[in-house]
Structure 1
């Protein structure tokens, strides 16, 4: 009786679903128009927390980058690496000194630019590329936005920069965790090899015979 009374009180509602029309899936992220096409990019934009654009984003996420180098550079630019100065601020009992030179406390600025080990690497590539970038980390990122009027040389500089950041951090971790020590010249040779390997397919893609191997020669 109650069900019958309820049906009498409620208005008739036309069925929403129809068996005469095929079902379709529509994707509507946030306030965008609904679409039958799914986009990973729009999904990421809908899910991620949007922050302010940083001045160095094009210096990190440029076309032709090496992904793992770009990622470490991004973490470094955000000052999120587990350098010893940061770990000590967290209350961890770790040595303060730089394991690359044993001459000063480890920090982002010291590890990547002030340390004599890192300076040896930068000196080699700066001499080869005939550049004099700033030695302060943030200033270096700003300078990297336009380090040369030559587009191909600009790409080389960015690749070398990121490869050096990656290699220095990798060597630091190898010494801390594996007690494995390599001289700067070995890292320099590896960076040259990696950058030249990256430049070759990029040159082919642009139908260019130019590789500028002399800039990264011995």
Structure 2
């Protein structure tokens, strides 16, 4: 990210500095460049100028490295006629080179933003339960190791959903169509008087604004993520520990987890509403 704006070439290193916009020339020619061309490895740009031009352009050699180097070099006249000093600048990514270092610009260059997704705020909302949000993120990207995906990788094993034994285990079935999951999800939706769609990605879109009430909206997001996490946890416990719980046990565990999360959120809330609190809204429904 350090570039050199060449003035008279007295300090810019010919081989190692990024002064031609193509990166360090040693990266183009390789370590054999200095030996083949005859210009020592620590030479500055000014030393590569002889008799009004680049020394390498006077060579009659047909060596591939010398030919390539000729094509990389800029015009020599501006450097020969310059009286300015060489300047080193900071250029993160595609931003304009500057003599000022910016931590923010450098971070963005090193960690470019990924693909924009419509469900970002439905997963990483303020007040989320971190482990629930993480599982939701993995599911939203369809990277969870469900049985249909594992079989597509060549892993031999049963394809049937272990929660209902009625259909193949896919993302859509496990988290939306499975009767076990439906029992859990319906309990909360009926209490909150919500009517989510039947497809997974439609459900994520619906979660943007599931209710006009801000408190109910937050509770719905917490319930949605808790349901995904709890169903996946129950599925894994059944497979690995052969322990089976009824849906009512999962519902009870979810209620306790969400209530525990809402307590500090309710205490920290600076809402101007005077009719009820976040935790009070929860108790109105549950």
Normalised TM-score (structure 2): 0.62
After superposition, the Cα gap between the structure-2 partners of 1:215 and 1:90, relative to the gap in structure 1 and judged at 3 Å, is farther
Aligned-residue CA RMSD (Å): 3.0
Structure 1: gaps (5+ residues): 1-5, 17-26
Match of 1:214 in 2: 283
Contact 1:28 1:35 in 2 (8 A): no
Question: Structure 1 residues 202 and 97 mapped into 2: Cα distance closer, same or farther (>3 Å)?
Answer: same
Distance in structure 2 (CA, Å) of the matches to 1:158 and 1:207: 20
User: Please, which of 33, 38, 51 is the counterpart of residue 114 of structure 2?
Assistant: 51
* Higher RCO, 1 vs 2 (CA within 8 Å, ≥6 residues apart): 1
Name the structure 2 match of 1:151: 214
Q: Count residues in correspondence.
A: 201
1:167 equivalent in structure 2: 230
Distance 1:151 1:177, change over 3 A: same
SS at match of 2:165: coil
1:78 maps to 141
Q: How does 1:25-174 map to 2 (within 5 A)?
A: 29-30=92-93, 31=95, 38=103, 43=107, 45-48=108-111, 50-174=113-237
Distance 1:65 1:95 in 2: 34
1:176 paired residue number: 239
Deviations 1:14-46, CA, capped at 9 Å, x for gaps: xx9xxxxxxxxxx9753386767756x963x43
1:214 CA drift (Å): 2.4
Query: Residue 120 and residue 213 in structure 1: after superposition, are their counterparts in 2 closer, same or farther (change >3 A)?
Result: same
CA distance change for structure 1 residues 195 and 42 in 2, over 3 Å: closer, same or farther? farther
Once the two structures are TM-superposed, the CA of residue 207 in structure 1 deviates from its matched residue by 4.0
* Structure 2: stretches of 5+ with no match in the other structure: 1-42, 50-85
Is the contact made by 1:134 and 1:143 (CA closer than 8 Å) also made in structure 2? yes
- After TM superposition, the score normalised by the length of structure 1 is 0.80
Structure 1 or 2: larger strand share?
2
Work out which of the two has the higher radius of gyration on C-alpha atoms and give 1 or 2. Answer: 2
In the TM superposition, residue 84 of structure 1 has moved relative to its aligned partner by 0.4
Q: Distance in 2 between matches of 1:158 and 1:116?
A: 21
CA distance in 1, matches of 2:181, 2:109: 40
Match of 1:19 in 2: none
